[in-house]
Amino acid sequence: MTLPAPVSRRSFVVASVGAALALGVSSQAQAQAQAHARGRGPFGRYGSPSARLDERTLYVHPGGLGDHTTVQAAVNAASGSGYTLVIAPGTYRETVAVSAARTEMTWIGASGEARDVVVVYDNAAGTPKPGGGTYGTTGSATTLVQADGFTARDLTFANDWLRAEHPGISGTQAVAIKVQGDRSAFVGCRFLGHQDTLYADSMALGTFARQYYRDCYVEGDVDFVFGRATAVYESCHFRTLIRDDLTGAPYGFVFAPSTAGANPRGYLVTGGRISSEAPDAYYKLARPWVPSSDTTARPMLTVRGTRMSAGIDAVEPYTNMSSGFPWQDQRFAEYRNAGPGAVVSVPENRPQLTSSEARSHTREAYLGDWTPWKGC
């Protein structure tokens, strides 16, 4: 599958049907125009309400041509296991939650282009809630997936909350998606945000949720791929953003795993690339997150076969989140990376795997008896 093109979160609406909505064109008309351009109906090759693929396939269309006009309404209607949601081109401005009971659910972007189907909202951790208090990091998520066996293809998950528009809010974490279920797979998807974009986590400390991301695009600035899941990122593109609110380095950190100490597998990044809008060396590759709720965590990140641009600080690619938990005590390692951001000039700052060690850092080793890549 072709890697999704790197469209900035600031301009993703322009690159999607949201541009037409901003100009006053109806979502229904825009979705029909997208479909006409591709020579298919609004649901592409995935049938329609009048030609349903099966009884557990539901169709979402913003202008009313499907079973539901919002993604959450379709999720609510999928009251059991094994449902498929075919989502027509459109910008769906809503928050969506997939409960643990809705297992083996699949979401498909009908056009086959992730930029056409956007699920977006703009809560941040510090956003006031209607009933008092604030949302917190988890509550800021545009999409929350707690069910096992969730799969998404060709969709954009976004949080378009911006610091500059909310100078009075200090809780600037703004999650595009939080994924907690085991056997969660994302193929050809985009994840757009700034701080805490992609929260790859689990339901509980003792639960080692496995997740697989292939041919995906993720962008952000601070800890924008984070959490305690066992997650494989294969052939994915990570992009660090420019920051107008800071005058010096570092602007942020790509990864912030919080792997449980008992979990032998954390984050594996393989065959990908990391690019940057920022000046050279303005981003760190990672820092370990040891949450106050789990001070026994031993964050784990392995990056192999990945090209890093000059935006990554090659001399000191890792740093601490807390002085009490130095990155050197965690499980960070690299293997056969390339590009100016991967140059090993200070060996003690860039732990490298041996060829023998690298054999245990593969998607097969991390995902065990689950083989999502065979069905992708």
In the numeric block, which tokens belong to residue 94?
């809503």
How does the average pLDDT of the chain come out, rounded?
91
Q: Are 43 and 72 in contact (CB under 8 A)?
A: no
pLDDT at 36: 43
Question: In the chain, what percentage of residues exceed pLDDT 70?
Answer: 89
pLDDT at 30: 52
Q: How confident is the model at residue 16 (pLDDT cuts 50, 70, 90)?
A: very low
Report the alpha-carbon distance of residue 222 to residue 235 in Å, rounded: 22
Report the alpha-carbon distance of residue 278 to residue 283 in Å, rounded: 8
Strands 96-98 and 143-145, sheet pairing = parallel
Query: Tens digit of pLDDT for each residue in 341-374?
Result: 999 999 999 999 999 999 999 999 999 999 998 8
In the numeric block, which tokens belong to residue 211?
């997740």
Report the alpha-carbon distance of residue 182 to residue 229 in Å, rounded: 9
pLDDT at 44: 95
Q: Give the residue from 294, 236, 230 showing the smallest Cα distance to 263.
A: 230
pLDDT at 98: 98
- Length of the chain equals 376
Report the alpha-carbon distance of residue 263 to residue 230 in Å, rounded: 8
The residues annotated with a catalytic role in the active site are: 196, 223
Q: Residue 358 — φ and ψ, nearest 5°? A: -65, -25
Q: Are 312 and 274 in contact (CB under 8 A)?
A: yes
Mean pLDDT, residues 139-154: 98
Strands 177-179 and 252-257, sheet pairing = unpaired
Query: Tens digit of pLDDT for each residue in 129-138?
Result: 999 999 999 9
What are the DSSP calls for 139-167, one per residue? HT-SEEE-STT-EEES-EEEE---GGG-T
